[in-house]
Structure 1
């Protein structure tokens, strides 16, 4: 695990291309330039095309898992891409799921506990695990979501957009079905993408990660974005009630319920503690939203800052986060169908 924490090597510091409203000006300029000629947008956003090679993160090195490196605004960046056999055997566009790690963590660690690969094998979607950059003030890996990451100079929205453009050019990506899910800071980044890259990210899911106050204040979502949130009620790292740098979860959910024009009262269902571990809870769905962009909330009793799973060897619960996340996200296309 020690070696995994060091992969991939991150060097230098990024350059903040733009933030908040200025970002949209930059986007319009980039979009106009791409319309003026046939230059690949990924070539505009990224300093270099990703260079990929087989990675042994799943055991024996295979072509199913590739480690990719690139340069973005002078900063060395990287990601893993998982290509299931079912994708290779089908000649149809495939959904693309981003899985974003938490603060201080890494792409390979996120791959090890989330459980998305099995679902990708079953359903044939492409799976990308981006690697966050180093936050200079702490020396830890992170995603720039404003708020407590204000010292960051990395434009992670641009990073994800560049990967989307590269993947869409090099693989059969269903551009109407691009999703983002994340743990903790990665969940917060998924909200950030919904706010600032909603034209390309269809739906998002967060496990334990709220919106920061900056993301909340500056959010410019598209018409409607399906949102799923999973949270433990005794999370000591990201309290359900929020704190000075993180929004209360109820406020986050209320924001998206209103943004999507959903019913203000959700339909609540009990999650029964079936295995006696004390981790039951409630599942609430907010329905009748614009373009059927539902908002789903899972609140789990006696669960801390953890990714819920139903399998031996990891923290158990009465829900499996990966299955719930994919089951939710896969219902949606970018036009809301």
Structure 2
């Protein structure tokens, strides 16, 4: 953005460092919090840069759920460990809300909370974020991806619909939303992870329990109905193929849980849609430790490692030339 002044705060450091001329600072490996102004609002994101920055790096945008924060989501999901091993940048943005750093949401068109009620331009913010990031690190512009939990997963769908010129593929987890108008001019690869026993984002659709702290209730669209919209858009076969099944191991957090992998392919332009359909877990990020009480979100699970599955999917896809 012309004239945008941005700052970088090294996590754990005592001082806020900005370049004297207002331009971006190059980022060293590690964690940084970056602030910028967009559409008259102060916005921020956390970026994790892996040790090896000798080549242009892919970027994974990871969005927190409704009522969450970037810091809490980054710590809980812990994508940084895999990023260091595989060589990609992790960006965890902050949504908006009545408080600067907590109880935040994303405008996923039909959901959720403050961001939707105030019609926050979150798609525009992500575009500005990517422009800002490109001045700070060597990124691979053809390999920028979006994932997120719950409301963050819903927002990933909105980016697929409205920013497919920047986002190569998306992987929503525990969050589905029907976009009124899919503006993407190309097929968009999609990986969706969801439990049929999710007590918050209902797999079969319907009115969910009240949203924590606000009492807001969201009428969910069935996950497979959302996927059907994208199946048509992407030119995929209407019926998926079951390609894998697994059962949780006794004595682990996956005990009593199961997972099926359903594949819609081949689709136009070599794309695919993959559904990981879980049974047993709740409204959680698979592979991550317990974050909220089971009474609120259901059981955590180790039936799959969402981080590894999401990255393996992203590696297969890039923006077309």
What's the TM-score bracket when you normalise by the shorter of the two chains? 0.7 to 0.9
- Kept in 1: contact 2:77–2:288 (CA 8 A): no
- Kept in 1: contact 2:147–2:156 (CA 8 A): yes
- Kept in 1: contact 2:62–2:92 (CA 8 A): yes
| CA shift for structure 1 position 49 | 3.4
| CA shift for structure 1 position 258 | 1.4
| CA shift for structure 1 position 271 | 2.7
User: Which segments of 5 or more consecutive residues in structure 2 lack a partner in the other structure?
Assistant: 14-27, 208-218, 292-298
Query: What TM-score results when the alignment is normalised by the length of structure 2?
Result: 0.82
In 2, Cα distance between equivalents of 1:101 and 1:222? 27
Cα 1:135–1:147, aligned 2, differ >3 Å: closer, same or farther? farther
In 2, Cα distance between equivalents of 1:49 and 1:227? 35
Match of 1:321 in 2: 306
| CA shift for structure 1 position 116 | 1.2
- Kept in 2: contact 1:310–1:319 (CA 8 A): no
Alignment of 1:259-278 (within 5 A): 259-276=233-250, 277-278=255-256
In 1, Cα distance between equivalents of 2:110 and 2:290? 36
Structure 2 residue corresponding to 1:280, chosen from 255, 258, 281: 258
In 2, Cα distance between equivalents of 1:151 and 1:311? 32
- Kept in 2: contact 1:232–1:304 (CA 8 A): yes
- Kept in 2: contact 1:106–1:131 (CA 8 A): yes
1:333 aligned onto 2:299: no
User: Which segments of 5 or more consecutive residues in structure 1 lack a partner in the other structure?
Assistant: 1-41
Match of 1:247 in 2: 221
How many residues get paired? 280
Which structure: greater helix fraction?
A: 1
Cα 1:238–1:129, aligned 2, differ >3 Å: closer, same or farther? same
- Kept in 1: contact 2:29–2:50 (CA 8 A): no
In 2, Cα distance between equivalents of 1:85 and 1:173? 14
Match of 1:96 in 2: 59
Alignment of 1:27-176 (within 5 A): 42-43=1-2, 48-56=4-12, 64-87=30-53, 90=54, 92-134=55-97, 140-149=103-112, 150-176=116-142
> How much is the aligned-residue C-alpha RMSD, in angstroms?
2.2
Query: What TM-score results when the alignment is normalised by the length of structure 1?
Result: 0.78
1:213-265 CA-partner distances (Å, limit 9, x unpaired): 4xx21221221100000001111110001125322101111111111111222
In 1, Cα distance between equivalents of 2:248 and 2:92? 32
| CA shift for structure 1 position 167 | 1.3
- Kept in 2: contact 1:54–1:63 (CA 8 A): no
| CA shift for structure 1 position 146 | 2.1
